[in-house]
Structure 1
Amino acid sequence: MRVTSELFTLNTATGPMQTRVYRPLATGSFPAIIFYSEIFQETDPISRMATVLAGHGFVVLVPEIFHELNPMGTVLGYDDAGKNKGNCDKATKPLEAHDSDTVAMVDFIRAQSWSRGKIGSMGVCIGGHLAYRAAVNPDIAAAFCLYATDIHSGGIPSQSGNDSLSRTKDIRGELYMVFGKQDPHVSGEGRRKIQQNLEDAGTNYSWLEVNAEHAFMRDGDARHDPALALEMYQKAIALFKRTL
């Protein structure tokens, strides 16, 4: 399918949030995927990933995950300055604010004429964590989480007992977790901690560890693995076609 995109400003509990919506150019109703970016927000690689998903028959929402902390339209660079700013934003915005952003996007989707009513989540890096976290919301039927950071470490601030590991028990949809074995951000010990937590919670999940570094999905990066990236697109699309 060919794809079109449009910018919207959604009202959230913590202020206006710019969100780009990618959707098939064809008429009709479609399931939706909330696609959470890296700390850099909507960079060109993120836009291309969203376009690939939309071209397979989904409406894809890409929110500015740190909308409270930056001017609208901010895109951070893949450099030390961008990394430092993004990591600072990550350590500043609490999970509770990400939760209310998800609620705003779910409400927006439900109100659209193109909505089929089914919603999934997907993301890379911190976005993988936010896709996992979004699945705490009962409106999220499935989540595809790529090299999700800080689930194991509690690196995103939250109220006591409201970290993502503690909330795993509330996930009712299906999860697909993907990690790179050479990813320094999520060690083997960290991966075991996340998986054991999923087992303890009785979560419906799939687990995949691949020989890859962090950010292996990001085209243009030295760590990019095109063959693995294609495989992950196929797995994500299969998950969402089955569950949404």
Structure 2
Amino acid sequence: MIITQEVHDISTATGTMRTYLYRPDCEGQFATIIFYSEIFQQTAPIARAAAILAGHGFVVLVPEVFHELNPIGTVLAYDDIGKDKGNADKFAKRLEHHDSDTEALVDFARSLIFCSSHIGSMGVCIGGHLAYRAALNPDIQGAFCLYPTDIHSNTLPCDKGNDSLSRTGDIAAELVMIFGKQDPHVSSEGRKLVYDKLEATEAKFNWLEVNAQHAFMRDEDIRHDPALALQMYLQAVAFFQRTLK
């Protein structure tokens, strides 16, 4: 499926958020996937991931997740300077502001003639956490979360009791949680904490732990696992085809 790309600047409660849109280049209405990036924002690997999803018949929105903290269009490099800046942004932005970003993205998708009413979320790393967090929004029907960080540790700023792990029971959407066993950012104890919370709240979720390192989806990284990444794309497409009918 041939796709087309657009750039939109969306108004949010905390300022203008640049959002990159990928969609099938044909007539019709398509379900939407909000795709949350790593701390580096929309790098080339993230753009390629969004294009892959769009090529399977989805409208894909890639927001700049730290739009309040950077000039519009900022892309951080995959180096120590970029990592330090991205991590500083991660700990500076409140989860409540990510929530209002998700509300703005849902409203934006609903305003587009080529978007159906069905919306899901997906992300990698901090974006995996944001995809999980987005599922607190009742308009999100499914969330595909790849090696999500900081859910287990409650290290991101937010109001007391509003951290994502504590709010797990408020998620109605179906979740897919995927972790790398060799990922140092989420230990086996951390994964167990998230799993037990999902079980305790009777969440509707699928759980998969794979033999992979952090960032195994990133196709410009020595940790990239191409075969495993392909499996994840196929699983994500099947998941969203089912949940976003």
TM-score range, shorter chain: over 0.9
Quick one: distance in 1 between partners of 2:156 and 2:178?
Answer: 20
**TM-score, normalization by structure 1:** 1.00
Distance apart, 1:72 and its partner CA: 0.2
1:16 corresponds to:
16
Give the deviation of 1:26 after TM superposition.
1.1
Does 2:88 align with 1:88?
Answer: yes
Look up the match of 1:39: 39
Query: 1:229 deviation in Å?
Result: 0.1
Unmatched tracts of structure 1, length 5 or more: none
The equivalent of 1:150 in structure 2 is: 150
Give the AA of the match of 2:21: V
Letter in 2 for 1:196: D
Q: What residue in structure 2 maps to residue 228 of structure 1? A: 228
Report how far residue 152 of structure 1 moved: 0.2
Aligned to 1:62: 62
Residue 105 of structure 2 is matched in structure 1 by 105
After superposition, residues 58-207 of structure 1 pair within 5 angstroms as 58-207=58-207
Q: CA deviation at 1:155?
A: 1.8
Measured in 1, the distance between the counterparts of 2:236 and 2:202 equals: 22
Deviation (angstroms), 1:161: 0.4
Inter-partner Cα distance in structure 2 for 1:110 and 1:169: 26
Task: Give the whole-Å Cα distance in 2 for the aligned partners of 1:78 and 1:115.
Answer: 33
Partners in 2 of 1:15 and 1:44 — Cα distance? 25
Cα deviation per residue 1:99-127 (whole Å; 9 max; x = unaligned)?
A: 00000000001111011100000000000
Normalising by structure 2, we get a TM-score of: 0.99
Count, aligned residues: 244
* Residue type at the aligned position of 1:197: K
Fraction of identical pairs, as percent = 66
Cα distance in 1 for partners of 2:167, 2:11 equals 25
Give the residue type in structure 1 aligned to 2:157: P
C-alpha distance in structure 1 between counterparts of 2:158 and 2:173, whole Å: 22
- Corresponding residue SS for 2:67: coil
Q: Residues 174-230 of structure 1: CA distance to partner in whole angstroms, max 9, x if unpaired? A: 000000000000000000000000001110000000000000000021000000000
Q: Shift of residue 171 of structure 1?
A: 0.5
Q: Which amino acid aligns with 2:120?
A: G
Q: Give secondary structure in 2 for the equivalent of 1:165.
A: coil
Output one character per residue of 1:115-149: Cα deviation in whole Å (capped at 9) or x when no partner: 11000000000000000000000000000000000
CA distance in 2, matches of 1:86, 1:220: 18
Unaligned runs of 5+ in 2: none
Distance across 2 between alignment mates of 1:237 and 1:86: 28
Deviation above 2 Å: which 4+ runs of structure 1? none
Shift of 1:35: 0.1
**In 1: Cα distance, 2:80 partner to 2:154 partner:** 23
Q: Which secondary structure state, in structure 2, belongs to the residue aligned with residue 68 of structure 1?
A: helix
Amino acid at match of 1:153: S
